[in-house]
Amino acid sequence: MEQFQTASSTSPIDDYMSDPLLDRQAHPPAPQEKSHSFDRLFLKRLGRLLRLLFKGTDGSILKSSILLPYSIFLLLSCAVEVIVWFVGLIPSRFYAVLGSLDVEGYWKVLFQSLGFVFLVAVGKSLQTFSSKVLALQIRRILTEHIQACYIKPKTIYRVLLFHEDIDNPDQRITQDIDRFAEAARDIVEPLVITPALIVYYTWKCWDVGGYLGPLFIYMYFVVGSVISSYLIKPIVELVFRKESCEGDFRYLHVRLREYAESVAFSRGEKEEQIRADKSLDTLLGAQRKVINRELPLEAVKQIHSYFGSILSYIIISIPILAGKYDTSDPSKISEIISKNTFISMYLLWKFSSIIEQATKLSDLAGYTARISELFEAINVIDNDLENVEIDYPYQDGSPESEPFIAFDKVTITSPSKKTLISDFTARFYTGNHVLISGPNGSGKSSMLRVMAGLWPCAKGHIQLPSNHGQKNMYFLPQSSYLTFGSLRDQITYPNLASNTEISDEEIRSLLKKTRLSHVEDLVDSFDTPYGNEWYKMLSPGEQQRLAFCRAFYWKPTFLIMDEATSAIDENTQSHLLKLVHESGSTMICVSHNSSTRDLFDTFVTFNGNGECRVSHSQDIDINDDALDKAVLRDPWSLSDE
Ligand SMILES: Nc1ncnc2c1ncn2[C@@H]1O[C@H](COP(=O)(O)OP(=O)(O)OP(=O)(O)O)[C@@H](O)[C@H]1O
C-alpha cells in the first residue's frame, strides 16, 4: 500500500533543513520558541540560508546558486580596492612633485591620476551593478525555493490555517526575502573584502608610523563594536515586530478590497476606517520604536567616524613630534603626512564600515528570522504529513479492484481538540451516491477535509482510491476558486498536465450543460485572460456552476461536493446533480437541501454530538486487517512520532 504523503528525501525543504547544525529529527524546530535577536540561532539560520544560496536548488551550482554572481562581485570589489589604493596616494604624489618643482613628474602624475580616477569610477559602477545582480539572484533562489516548499498539496493550507504564529506568510515571501537580499547585498562586501583590506592597511600603517598607529585604531574599533553590538540586540526584535505589523496593515487593506461589497451592504465603513487607523497606529508605533532605538546606534556610528578622522592626525603626529622625520624636507613631510593620513583614515573607515553594518545586520537578522520561521513551520508540517494514516489500495490502471472509499473506526477531532466524529465506519463504492447532512458545525466539512488529507484523523484508518490527480477524486468546495486566466483555464483547472486540452466545442457543450452559455458573450475569446474580474463577471451561483464544468471536464470517479450547490437555484441544482449521476461519477455530497434526496443511495447523518448514522443498504463492510492498523495519537501534535 502506498503511503499518503511521504516527504521526499530530496524535497526542497529537506535541502534547506539538511544543515548539520540542525538535527531536525531529534529536535524538530518549534516555531513557538521565538528568538529574534542577534544570537546563535540567527547565525544558525543565516548559515542555513547561505548554504542553500551557495549550494543551488537544482544541482547546478553555476546556474542556480549565487556562486557565479558572488565571485564576479568579489573579483570586481578586489579590483576596485587595488585602484582605490592608487587613487588614495594621488595627493601625496602631487605634494611630492609640486614640493620639488618637478614639472615632468607633475604631468606624469596628472595623467596617471586621471587614469586611476576613471578606472575607479568605472570599477565602482560595475561593482554596484554586480551587487544588484547578486541581490536579484538571492531573491530568485530563496523565493523559488520557498514557493516550492510552501505551494504544494496540504502545506499551504496548513500553514495558513494552523500556524497562526507564522503571521503573513505572503509578506514573508513577497517582501521579506527581497529585503533580506538587499541587506545581504549591502553587507556582503564589507564583511568579506574588509578583513583582507584591514590586514593590508594595518601593515602599511605600521610601516609608516610604527605599532602605535594600528594599536590605537584597533582599540578604537573594539570600543566602537562593543557599544554598537550592545545597541543592535533590541533592534532585531523590533524590526521583526515592525515587519509583522506591516503585514497586518497590508492584509487589512487587501481584505477591505476583497469584501468591499459586504462592508458596503452592512454600512461598516466607519468601523473599518477605525480598524485601519488602529492598525496604522500600531505599525507606526512599531516603526517609531525602531527609529528610536536606531538613534543611539546612529550617534555611535557618526561619532566613531568623525573622531576617527582626528585620530589619524594623532597617529602621524607621534613619529613626527618624536623627531623621526627631522631630517626630511617639508615637501617630503607633507607627502608622508598625506600618505599616512590616507592609510590611517582608510583603515579607520574600513573599521567604521563594519560598525555601520550593525544597523543593516539587525535588519538582516529580523528578515532571516521571518524567512527561517516559515521554512521551519513547513518542515514541521512535512513531518506531520508523513504520519497521516491514509492508504491507497487502488492504483490507476489496475482492473482487479474496484475503487472505494472506506472509513474504519475513524475519529476526527478539530485543531482545538473537539471531537467531531467518533468511531465512524463505512465503505462507499462507485455508483453508491452518498448524501451527508447534519446540523451546522457537526463536522461534515471536516470529514471531507480528512478525506482530502488536509486534516489528520485522530484514530482509525481511511482507504481512498489513489492520489493520482483529479480523475479519481475531485472536490468542489462551497466557494469556487476562480483562477486568473482564460475561460479555457477555468474549466480545465488545475491544468498543469499536457492532457488538459479542451476544444472550443467541448467548452460550449460544458457551458450549455451547466446553463452558462451566456458566459461566452462575457469574454472576448475562450483564451482571453482575466484576473479578479472573474469574480465580478460571475455571480456566486454562476461561479458554482462553472465549478461543475470542471467536474464534467475531469469526469472523476468520485465527485466530492461540500455545499457546492448552495448558491444555485433549486431547478438548476437538481439538473446538475442529475447530470453528474448520468455522467458515471459517484457523488459524495454535503448538503442541507433534501429536495434531491432521491438521487442518493446512502445517507450519512451527523447528530452534532460526534455520532454519525449511516442508512441505506450496501455500505458497511469492515475490514478487520485494516482495523488492526488503526493508530491512536494526537493528530495535531507538531512533533514527530
Ligand atoms: N480551523 C479550525 N480550527 C479550529 N476549529 C475548527 C476549524 N475548522 C473547523 N473547526 C471546528 O470544527 C467544527 C466543525 O466544522 P465543520 O466545518 O466540519 O462543520 P460543518 O458540519 O461542515 O458545518 P456547516 O454545516 O456550517 O458547514 C466547527 O464547529 C469548529 O468548531
Cβ of 331 below 6 Å from ligand 1 = no
Determine which residue's CA is closest to atom 19 belonging to ligand 1: 441
Query: How far is CA 357 from each of CA 66, 196, 298, 528, rounded to the nearest angstrom?
Result: 21, 17, 11, 49
With a CB cutoff of 8 Å and minimum separation 6, the contacts of 478 are: 544, 562, 563, 564, 566
Contact 434, 588 (CB under 8 A): yes
Determine which residue's CA is closest to atom 13 belonging to ligand 1: 441
At 405, is the secondary structure helix, strand, or coil? strand
Average pLDDT over residues 306-328: 79
Query: How far is CA 136 from each of CA 16, 77, 183, 239, rounded to the nearest angstrom?
Result: 19, 18, 12, 22
Average pLDDT over residues 152-179: 86
pLDDT of the residue at 30: 39
568-596 confidence digits (pLDDT tens) = 998 999 999 999 988 889 999 998 887 78
Q: How far apart are CA 150 and CA 41, in angstroms?
A: 22
pLDDT of the residue at 347: 83
With a CB cutoff of 8 Å and minimum separation 6, the contacts of 366 are: 36, 236, 237, 238, 239, 240, 242, 243
| DSSP at 9 | T
Asked if the model's pLDDT at residue 161 lies above 70, the reply is yes
What band does 260 get if pLDDT is binned at 50, 70 and 90? Answer: confident
Cβ of 416 below 6 Å from ligand 1 = yes
Cβ of 414 below 6 Å from ligand 1 = yes
How large a percentage of the chain has pLDDT more than 70?
83
Cβ of 608 below 6 Å from ligand 1 = no
Contact 362, 232 (CB under 8 A): yes
Determine which residue's CA is closest to atom 20 belonging to ligand 1: 441
Q: What angle do CA 241, 242, 246 make, to 5 degrees?
A: 120
In the chain, the N- to C-terminal Cα span, in Å, equals 20
What band does 5 get if pLDDT is binned at 50, 70 and 90? Answer: very low
How large a percentage of the chain has pLDDT more than 90?
27
Distance 616 CA to ligand 1 centre (A): 26
Query: How far is CA 293 from each of CA 234, 286, 298, rounded to the nearest angstrom?
Result: 8, 11, 9
The whole model's pTM is what? 0.71
| Range with the poorest average pLDDT among 165-169, 180-184, 352-356, 480-484 | 352-356
Contact 537, 522 (CB under 8 A): yes
Distance 447 CA to ligand 1 centre (A): 10
Of residues 586 and 335, more confidently modeled: 586
pLDDT of the residue at 302: 83
Cα pseudo-dihedral 518, 521, 526, 531, rounded to 10: -90
Distance 495 CA to ligand 1 centre (A): 30
Distance 570 CA to ligand 1 centre (A): 25
Atom of ligand 1 nearest to the CA of 416: 4
What band does 401 get if pLDDT is binned at 50, 70 and 90? Answer: low
pLDDT of the residue at 386: 64
Cβ of 610 below 6 Å from ligand 1 = no
Q: How far apart are CA 579 and CA 552, in angstroms?
A: 9
Determine which residue's CA is closest to atom 9 belonging to ligand 1: 414
Q: Residue type at 173?
A: I
pLDDT of the residue at 398: 52
Average pLDDT over residues 491-501: 70
Distance 436 CA to ligand 1 centre (A): 15
Average pLDDT over residues 173-182: 92
The most confident of 340-349, 436-445, 497-506, by mean pLDDT: 436-445
Radius of gyration of the chain (CA): 34
Q: How far apart are CA 404 and CA 473, in angstroms?
A: 11
Q: What angle do CA 407, 410, 414 make, to 5 degrees?
A: 125
Query: How far is CA 516 from each of CA 284, 507, 508, 554, rounded to the nearest angstrom?
Result: 49, 10, 9, 18
Cβ of 445 below 6 Å from ligand 1 = yes
Q: How far apart are CA 421 and CA 446, in angstroms?
A: 9
57-87 confidence digits (pLDDT tens) = 666 666 778 888 988 998 998 899 899 889 9
pLDDT of the residue at 2: 34
Asked if the model's pLDDT at residue 217 lies above 50, the reply is yes
Angle formed by the axes of helices 540-554 and 504-513, to 10°? 120
Q: How far apart are CA 201 and CA 184, in angstroms?
A: 25
Q: Which one of 160, 161, 162, 420 would you pick to mutate in the ligand 1 pocket, going by the greatest count of ligand atoms within 8 A of its CB?
A: 420
What band does 220 get if pLDDT is binned at 50, 70 and 90? Answer: confident
Distance 71 CA to ligand 1 centre (A): 54
Mean pLDDT of the chain: 81
Q: How far apart are CA 209 and CA 125, in angstroms?
A: 34
DSSP string over 135-204: HHHHHHHHHHHHHHHHSSTTHHHHHHHH-TTS--HHHIIIIIHHHHHHHHHHHHHHHHHHHHHHHHHHHH
Query: Minimal CA–CA distance to 385: which of 155, 108, 172?
Result: 155
Cβ of 446 below 6 Å from ligand 1 = yes
Q: What is the ipTM of this complex?
A: 0.96
Average pLDDT over residues 377-387: 78
511-556 confidence digits (pLDDT tens) = 999 999 999 999 999 999 988 889 889 999 999 999 999 999 988 8
Q: How far apart are CA 57 and CA 67, in angstroms?
A: 12
Cβ of 296 below 6 Å from ligand 1 = no
Asked if the model's pLDDT at residue 635 lies above 50, the reply is no
Distance 415 CA to ligand 1 centre (A): 10
Cβ of 631 below 6 Å from ligand 1 = no
Distance 440 CA to ligand 1 centre (A): 8
Q: How far apart are CA 633 and CA 641, in angstroms?
A: 9
601-624 confidence digits (pLDDT tens) = 899 998 888 788 888 654 444 343
| Range with the poorest average pLDDT among 223-237, 350-364, 528-542 | 350-364
Q: How far apart are CA 572 and CA 584, in angstroms?
A: 19
Other Cβ atoms closer than 10 A to 58 = 11
Cβ of 30 below 6 Å from ligand 1 = no
Cβ of 441 below 6 Å from ligand 1 = yes
Distance 612 CA to ligand 1 centre (A): 15
Average pLDDT over residues 482-496: 85
| Range with the poorest average pLDDT among 16-25, 49-58, 96-105, 251-260 | 16-25
Query: Minimal CA–CA distance to 490: which of 518, 529, 536, 517?
Result: 529
Q: How far apart are CA 38 and CA 439, in angstroms?
A: 52
Determine which residue's CA is closest to atom 16 belonging to ligand 1: 443
Distance 162 CA to ligand 1 centre (A): 13
Contact 57, 15 (CB under 8 A): yes
pLDDT of the residue at 614: 86
DSSP string over 69-91: HHHHHHHHHHHHHHHHHHHHTHH
At 421, is the secondary structure helix, strand, or coil? strand
φ/ψ of residue 522, rounded to 5: -80, -25
Other Cβ atoms closer than 10 A to 578 = 12
pLDDT of the residue at 499: 53
Q: Which one of 162, 412, 445, 606 would you pick to mutate in the ligand 1 pocket, going by the greatest count of ligand atoms within 8 A of its CB?
A: 445
DSSP string over 452-481: TTSS--SEEEEE-S--SSTTTEEEE-SSPP
pLDDT of the residue at 319: 78
At 596, is the secondary structure helix, strand, or coil? coil
Cβ of 420 below 6 Å from ligand 1 = yes
Atom of ligand 1 nearest to the CA of 478: 27
Contact 463, 626 (CB under 8 A): yes
Cβ of 440 below 6 Å from ligand 1 = yes
Cβ of 161 below 6 Å from ligand 1 = yes
pLDDT of the residue at 24: 34
Q: How far apart are CA 332 and CA 115, in angstroms?
A: 24
Distance 446 CA to ligand 1 centre (A): 6
Cβ of 300 below 6 Å from ligand 1 = no
Q: Which one of 154, 410, 414 would you pick to mutate in the ligand 1 pocket, going by the greatest count of ligand atoms within 8 A of its CB?
A: 414
Q: What angle do CA 426, 429, 431 make, to 5 degrees?
A: 130
